[in-house]
Amino acid sequence: MIRIKNILFPTDFSKCAHQALSRASILAKSYDATLHMLHATVLHDDDPHNPAFHLPDVDMINTKLRETAIDKMDSVINSYHASDLKIVKKHERGIAPAPVIIDYAEKNDIDLIVMGTHGRRGLRHLLLGSVAEEVVRLSSSPVLTIHEQKAPVPVAGSMERILVPVDFSDHAKTALRYAKALAEEYGSTLQVLHIIEESVHPSYYIAGMSSIFDLEPDIKPKSEDAMRKLFETAEGPQVSATYHLEEGQAAHEIAKFASAQKSDMIVISTHGLTGIEHLLVGSITEKVIRLADCPVFTVKSFGRSIIA
């Protein structure tokens, strides 16, 4: 059973933040949780709403920023007819958005962070980065990211299909545990997916092997058996599941599968790599957040749990 008492909704008042609020407010109502709305004022930010571009006095700037943020939060809540929710509205300052969000979550007993993501790719992502991806990487709480959509986003309702990518690690068991709990609550079918990355290390080329299928000709039936065993041994209620195998690069194939199979949500675990390890290895989870159109629910095998 999922237990949520406090939901954090960070907002920069952008389109994707507004889209994420619909999901955050519905979750808050469903679990009778307190919704914390947080706006971070960032040093050297290029926020066009920042009065620092117009007012010379620091105290006046801070007061105006706080008033503006709270007024905008009130306006957003009224537009979503969410005045019946238990709401905490906060405005905090910091050197960057992600640390402000993480610090607030840790100090305020936050069970779940719900936030929008712009889904930047290529050079824009390299230069600007992603606040959502940094929060996912550093947060000890589960994070639900909502990808910005050009068309109006329908009100979040039932979830028929929940996609769970697995790699047979303990982290995958954690994702399955959460996915089972969500599937029981929403009456969903789980789509258990494993991606077979065909390429092998160049050291095998000398032996004439350029594909994983050369090394393991029966890798497909073995992988499907392993998926079934992983699902059966993972903790959680008994729910229906289908099993799928795809070939290619993991993040791209996960996003492609979710789109083709009309998955309503992806539940995926992250290893929480940081520093040089993250720089060298990267994160499939963060790439999925960037590429997938449907919401992505990210969990860790360590940190805060919202399963009772």
Same domain, yes or no: 168 and 141: no
Say if 94 falls within a structural domain: yes
- pLDDT attached to residue 41: 79
Last residue of a domain, one of 147, 173, 189: 147
- pLDDT attached to residue 208: 44
Q: What is the pTM of this model?
A: 0.81
Find residue 41's DSSP bridge partners: 93
- pLDDT attached to residue 106: 95
Last residue of a domain, one of 147, 179, 200: 147
pLDDT tens readout for residues 253-301:
999 999 999 999 999 988 654 444 433 334 788 889 989 999 999 998 7
pLDDT tens readout for residues 83-105:
678 999 998 888 888 999 999 99
With residue 245 as reference, give the H or E element that holds it: strand 241-247
Per the structure, the count of domains in the chain is 2
- pLDDT attached to residue 272: 53
**At 112, which CATH number?**
3.40.50.620
- In angstroms, the first-to-last Cα distance of the chain is 5
Does the pLDDT at position 234 exceed 90? yes
- pLDDT attached to residue 66: 61
Find residue 93's DSSP bridge partners: 41
Burial of 208 (0-12, 13-18, 19+ CB in 10 A): exposed
In the numeric block, which tokens belong to residue 156?
């979040």
| Cα(272)–Cα(136) distance, integer angstroms | 8
Does the pLDDT at position 37 exceed 60? yes
Same domain, yes or no: 123 and 241: no
- pLDDT attached to residue 51: 53
Q: Which domain holds residue 279?
A: 161-299
Same domain, yes or no: 137 and 17: yes
- 3-state secondary structure (DSSP) of residue 154: coil
| Torsion (CA) 23, 27, 33, 35 in degrees, nearest 10 | 0
Say if 224 falls within a structural domain: yes
Say if 295 falls within a structural domain: yes
Quick one: angle between helices 97-107 and 131-138, nearest 10? Answer: 40
Say if 109 falls within a structural domain: yes
62 Cβ contact list (under 8 Å, min separation 6): 41, 93
pLDDT tens readout for residues 118-165:
755 544 444 444 788 889 888 999 999 998 876 555 555 578 999 999
Q: What angle do CA 11, 106, 236 make, to 5 degrees?
A: 95
